[in-house]
Amino acid sequence: MLKCFSKYSALLIVVLLAISCSNTNNRPIIQFSGDSTSIIIKNIDEASLLQVKNAYKANADTVNMVTVLLKPGELDSLQDELEVPGKISIAGDSLVFNPDSPFVKGKSYVVESYIGVKFATVGNLITGTAKQNLQAQRQTLKR
């Protein structure tokens, strides 16, 4: 009886460790550069970084991996988020967005990216919380 209990408890521990070791904590980090002139996306997993590099090499001008939107203020009459034009470049293991015009101090920007987004993890499949479509990673940055 004790041997059977120890085998099943060891199996349970291994299963729980496998579920807890999902990639949910390894999402890309989106932040302003030190001087706030660009937005940097880092901590991209190797598979996603390879896909980004291949898409960038194929046609760098038409790649739309990151969308940066200017968030309207509370007193703005225009209530739509406006897309911020800019260029994307790859620097080592990071993606860098450089806007065509500088970011405005005091404004908020919403960054949307599908880089590193997974459809479902093992934990989502087991618990039944997997979504039917991909959800972009959204990060609000204030300059």
**Tens-place pLDDT, residues 4-26:** 555 555 544 554 445 445 444 57
**Considering Cα of 16, then 129, then 114, then 71, what sign does the dihedral take?**
negative
Share of the chain above pLDDT 90, in %: 26
Note whether 29 and 43 are within 8 A (CB). Answer: yes
| Domain boundaries defined on the chain | 25-142
Stated pTM of the model: 0.68
| pLDDT for 24 | 47
Instruction: Count other Cβ atoms within 10 Å, centred on residue 72.
Output: 15
3-state helix, strand, coil in the chain (%, to 5): 30, 30, 45
What fold does the segment set 25-142 form as a domain?
Immunoglobulin-like (2.60.40)
| pLDDT for 51 | 87
Q: Among 4-8, 85-89, 99-103, 132-136, name the one with the lowest average pLDDT.
A: 4-8
Instruction: Count other Cβ atoms within 10 Å, centred on residue 101.
Output: 8
